[in-house]
Amino acid sequence: MKKTIICAHRGLEDSTPENTRAAFEGGLVQGMAVEMDIQRTADDHLVVMHDPTVDRTTDGSGEIAQMTLAQIKTLDAGSWYGPQFAGQRVITFDEALELAVSHKLVSPSVALDVKLLPPDTTTMIRDCLENHGMIEEVVCIGAGRKSVEVRRQFHEVSDRFQCAVTADDPEEIDAALNDDYSTWVYARFVPTAEDVLRVNGGGKRMIVSGPCVAYDINGVHEACRAGADMVLTWHPTTLRLVGPEAANGD
């Protein structure tokens, strides 16, 4: 039986501060993929952070789009989670990809959540991925999974992008397979083995998430046993502790 890739949401966010070096290294060295979010600074750098502001996960405040990279780099991105993570900094997309290249044990190793696409952002993402030889090692989720226009934007700057399209239930699999701008189906339900075979037989791979998997360890195990190519979970540390054999469908 094939191995299902476990993708850690914002890295090991259940045991480290999300979207930091510690979170990504922690997941990658355990053979997981990592999900990350990117935002764009005022001086056109891509940084890894979920929120459009730095308020929740750093000791600073303000909108990322109104701050320079130098300003953001002065912030502590770890102390809010625990004193042992004091000094963790906001990392750039470039730095996050360096970690993936250095530590990845699975392929693809990154799920990229892009919520906002100011002009030329897709080109910036492409260039960064190309510089690290990672364009075929990243699954683009986020806004693109529900918007054919966003998927088209990625496709227009490179037909090597791997984008996912949402299927909220098994009845939407056929429509997802007919989408011209995706190579993955983002299933928001626990699939059966037959569902996975339909997707794989249609030439695409399946990533499973949504509440039934993201928060539910039992849902993760069911998706793995069905043969899903990747599962995106909010509880990667718990999943590892309950047993990698179950998680990998062995």
% of the chain beyond a pLDDT of 70:
95
pLDDT tier for residue 246 given thresholds of 50, 70 and 90: very low
User: Nearest 5°: CA angle at 62, between 61 and 64?
Assistant: 120
CATH of 5-16+18-36+95-247, one of 3.90.480.20, 3.30.300.30, 3.20.20.190, 3.30.70.940: 3.20.20.190
As given in the structure block, the two tokens for residue 191 are 């699939």
Q: Are 140 and 154 in contact (CB under 8 A)?
A: yes
Residue 116 has pLDDT above 90, yes or no: no
Domain ranges in the chain are: 5-16+18-36+95-247
Give me the mean pLDDT over the 223-244 stretch.
84
Residue 162 has pLDDT above 50, yes or no: yes
Give me the mean pLDDT over the 186-205 stretch.
98
Task: List beta partners, residue 6.
Answer: 231
Question: SS3 of 215, please?
Answer: coil
Residue 245 has pLDDT above 80, yes or no: no
Peptide bond into 191 cis (omega under 30): no
Classify residue 192 as exposed, middle or buried by CB count within 10 Å of its CB (0-12, 13-18, 19+): middle
What is the pLDDT, as a whole number, of residue 242? 60
